[in-house]
């Protein structure tokens, strides 16, 4: 497999060199589990990369869906992104303030809604800070942009589609949660959810795909080996899943870097599948 020329990652050096480009828009897409404080929005107000606006995964979502941060419709995504000062001709760079959680989610959302010129900052805010680069605090109020959105439904899978896949096994399902959660040996942190995993799915904890000492994503060779060790054939269709459709996109980002296209996200993920009256659940190793 030949690595793509359209690598979705950009370096801190690249961003520093383009930070004053009016066509480069920076978003802080940080996310934390419910109940974890301080809120990502408060972290953003305290410290962010100059010019960055806050992309709230919880509100750029379907307000009428009880499941956490499900994809919004095209009209809402276009409206919310335009309000962040982003236009369809801009290059969007997403970053996290922590370790590789929601910046890939934002990246995938932009791709899903037809905006291909979107990148993820390798190493995120932590690498930016370690390098002594400048930061700002407070709210950024941009001039509204003009963003047009058109959802490609092939980027997302529903529970019904995953149920059908239990029979056909046409797509490999890859779970990004830590192994104890996948194997069902610990309580699921999402309230009221059963423990375990989708029957037949594989497990590759997302944290294993980046270097904890530098915060950057591992090399292509290391990524390729990680997927092979998880029993995943990157040349065949893959659906990624996790707790609520956020960290799964770290796997998708890594697959994209390896040249895999046509992957999809199970947006409901375990927050939906793990409900008490949900579909069958498996426990133990993959």
The residues that are catalytic are: 242
| 3-state DSSP assignment of residue 150 | coil
* Omega before 75 within 30 of 0, i.e. cis: no
Beta bridge partners of 202: 174
Bridge-based pairing of strands 24-28 and 53-54 is: parallel
Phi-psi region of 100 (alpha: psi -120 to 50; beta: other; left: phi over 0): left
Neighbours of 202 (CB within 10 A): 17
With a CB cutoff of 8 Å and minimum separation 6, the contacts of 21 are 91
Torsion (CA) 273, 274, 279, 281 in degrees, nearest 10 = 120
Report residue 145 as tokens.
Answer: 């942009």
**Maximum CA extent, the chain:** 53
Q: Do 119 and 8 meet the contact criterion of CB atoms below 8 Å apart?
A: yes
Spatial separation of the C-alpha atoms in residues 143 and 18, rounded to whole Å: 19
């Amino acid at each position: 497999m030949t690595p793509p020329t359209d690598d979705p990652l950009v370096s801190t050096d690249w961003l520093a060199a383009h930070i004053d480009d009016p066509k480069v828009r920076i978003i802080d897409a940080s996310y934390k589990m419910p109940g974890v404080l301080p809120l990502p929005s408060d972290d953003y107000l305290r410290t962010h990369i100059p010019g960055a606006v806050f992309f709230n995964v919880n509100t750029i979502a379907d307000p009428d869906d009880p499941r956490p941060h499900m994809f919004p419709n095209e009209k809402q995504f276009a409206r919310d992104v335009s309000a962040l000062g982003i236009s369809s001709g801009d290059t969007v760079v997403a970053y996290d303030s922590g370790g590789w959680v929601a910046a890939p989610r934002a990246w995938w959302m932009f791709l899903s809604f037809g905006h291909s010129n979107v990148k993820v900052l390798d190493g995120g805010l932590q690498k930016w800070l370690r390098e002594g680069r400048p930061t700002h605090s407070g709210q950024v109020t941009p001039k509204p942009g003009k963003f047009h959105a058109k959802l490609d439904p092939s980027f997302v899978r529903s529970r019904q589609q995953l149920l059908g896949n239990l029979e056909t096994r046409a797509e490999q399902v890859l779970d990004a949660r830590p192994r104890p959660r996948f194997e069902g040996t610990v309580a699921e942190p999402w309230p009221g959810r059963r423990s375990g995993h989708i029957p037949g799915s594989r497990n590759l904890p997302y944290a294993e795909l980046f270097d904890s000492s530098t915060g950057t994503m591992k090399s292509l060779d290391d990524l390729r080996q990680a997927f092979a060790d998880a029993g995943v054939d990157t040349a065949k269709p893959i659906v990624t899943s996790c707790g609520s459709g956020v960290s799964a996109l770290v796997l998708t980002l890594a697959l994209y870097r390896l040249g895999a296209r046509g992957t999809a996200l199970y947006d409901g993920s375990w927050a939906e599948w793990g409900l008490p009256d949900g579909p069958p659940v498996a426990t133990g190793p993959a």
